[in-house]
Structure 1
Amino acid sequence: MRFPTPRHYLMCPPRYFAVDYTINPWMDPSVPVDPELAMAQWAALRETYRRLGHTVDEIEPQPGLPDMVFAANSGTVIDGRVLGARFRAAQRAAEAEHFRRWFLDHGYRDITMPTRINEAEGDFVWTGRELLAGTGFRTDPEAHAEAQEVLGVPVVSLRLTDPRYYHLDTALFVLSEASDTAPAQLAYYPEAFSPGSRRVLERMFPHAVRADTPDAACLGLNGVCDGCHVVLPAEAERLADQLAELGYEPVPVDVSELRKAGGGPKCCTLEIRK
């Protein structure tokens, strides 16, 4: 049996969502975007979390920052300690300061802004025991050492090699966090990683769920799990079946409009771990 754990999330409404530039292979400014549909899909995701018993806070979106909806890229919070973000793309750089102010305004005082490029939970995935840290397209390798120093947790570096999976959270997510008696369980897409990183994942997580290409291609690995319920894109049907066989409860959501900018459920969801 799987047991859910109440979570605390920070999200940003896609009031100014658009695809006006290209900073990843998913983005094509020539493809029309429906802002109302994006807002409806985001609101359904937020209400899904609340229905599952989780707390959802919201940050006010800012004009001129269409990717601010992807809140996961703007901070990593472990034990109430906040490591902010430093974006590689100039178009997103201003987001980091808005999120820093939100944390200050909500009582967080242990906040560090990085000196190296660090796209937060886009490339940092907490397993409950160690921080898996992606690099290859966005986050600097040197940011991994900075995260270990700031957050005080062990960091394991993983290299991404497929530009479609430009952030770690597009190719891997945690299903159940590590405990005193068991390692974390996760799902990932092996082909997104370098050969050495695949071997690391195989050694650390031999019982991980390995997703296939169609499920990865709909950003099915950009999921959010509370230890029982797995919120993931509706198109990731085979992955959902695999998870159900393991006792998890898949919760499919429609994020097709947000995917036009390369985002899914996790991209929209920054987890606050107090």
Structure 2
Amino acid sequence: MSTAGNPRILMCPPDHFGIEYEINPWMSIQQGSDPERAAGQWRALERTLEDLGVAIDLMTPEKGLPDLVFTANAGLVYRDTFIASRFRFGVRQGETPHFEAWGRARGFEVLTPPEGMNFEGAGDALFCGETLFAGYRFRSDVRSHHWVGERLGVEVLPMELVDPRYYHLDTCFCPLEAGVAVYYPGAFDDYGRAVIRGRIPTLIEVRAEEAQSFSCNAVVVGRTVVLNQGAPALAADLQRLGYATRTLELSEFIKSGGSAKCLTLRVDGEEAAAWKAAGSAASP
């Protein structure tokens, strides 16, 4: 269901967002989050994307599902197919029926991985060109990635994540266009680093201190990259390659282990990434 014209992104307002459990090293119930500040940061991201020409679809927030706001984990969109996530942790499994219903309402063919497989959508599966790069270990598993590749008829390259702070692929890897990507080498094992270096000609390596600010968890709209503040070296590297940057404060969501990319899902398909979307280029 690729759409013509501007990119389309799914977001979910943070009406019920909060840290109600701990399923990654960033989450602390004791620390919690500030609801008013989170709402302001989410609205700033929404306004920034709209200013860049993105059409926003909205999910309805649901009480008791605080992480529904992280729509990147809804599943993976590919052409007319939506593969819904099958979450590893029980506290998030209640999100899947809502995402499946959204996909059906949008007219997608909705598929869900079989029981016994874990797959957390665009959090762990990102296209760079025609190849699907897939992270596994902490949330998704290798079998689910192979299943997705077979259903979609695409090449899948599974890579093991080794640092629990970077539990999803989108926390440490960000495709910019075919053959170009940002990544944090320390999140991958030797094989994963070799796969990325061997298959993607132009790479920006993120420094460890900037990776911790979730700088890889960015949204690409044409030649503009929207990312959390606190990564001046990455911003400079992007600008040297001809990309504009928009930096935002997303601290309340980082407390839960997510940033700009986690808060978004490409409705027009992850494979129709920004470099393929007509009219999506924008200047700062």
TM range (shorter): over 0.9
* Residue of structure 2 aligned with 1:217, choices 208, 212, 216: 212
Shift in Å, 1:103 = 1.4
Q: Which residue of 2 aligns with 1:172?
A: 173
Alignment of 1:63-212 (within 5 A): 63-108=63-108, 110-115=109-114, 116-176=117-177, 178=178, 184-212=179-207
Alignment check: 8 A CA contact 2:174 2:181 kept: yes
- 2 CA distance for matches of 1:190 and 1:234? 20
Alignment check: 8 A CA contact 1:83 1:151 kept: no
Shift in Å, 1:128 = 2.7
* Residue of structure 2 aligned with 1:231, choices 226, 229, 239: 226
Shift in Å, 1:67 = 0.7
- 2 CA distance for matches of 1:133 and 1:197? 10
- 2 CA distance for matches of 1:93 and 1:198? 31
Give the 3-state SS of the residue equivalent to 1:247 in structure 2: coil
- 2 CA distance for matches of 1:79 and 1:206? 26
Give the 3-state SS of the residue equivalent to 2:227 in structure 1: strand
Q: Which residue of 2 aligns with 1:23?
A: 23
Shift in Å, 1:206 = 3.4
Q: What does the per-residue CA deviation read over 1:89-142, in whole Å, with 9 as the maximum and x for residues that have no partner?
A: 11000101101101112222x110111110000100011311101002110110
TM-score of the aligned structures, taking structure 1 as reference length: 0.94
What stretches of structure 2 of length at least 5 have no aligned partner? 270-284
- 2 CA distance for matches of 1:243 and 1:119? 28
TM-score of the aligned structures, taking structure 2 as reference length: 0.90
1:260 aligned to 2:255? yes
**Structure 2 letter corresponding to 1:221:** C
Instruction: List, as ranges, runs of 4+ consecutive aligned residues in structure 1 with deviation greater than 3 Å.
Output: none
Q: What does the per-residue CA deviation read over 1:184-240, in whole Å, with 9 as the maximum and x for residues that have no partner?
A: 210000010001111111111132111001110011000111230000001111111
Shift in Å, 1:150 = 1.7
- 1 CA distance for matches of 2:227 and 2:33? 21
- 2 CA distance for matches of 1:80 and 1:234? 35
* Residue of structure 2 aligned with 1:248, choices 243, 249, 253: 243
Alignment check: 8 A CA contact 2:52 2:221 kept: no
Q: Which residue of 2 aligns with 1:273?
A: 268
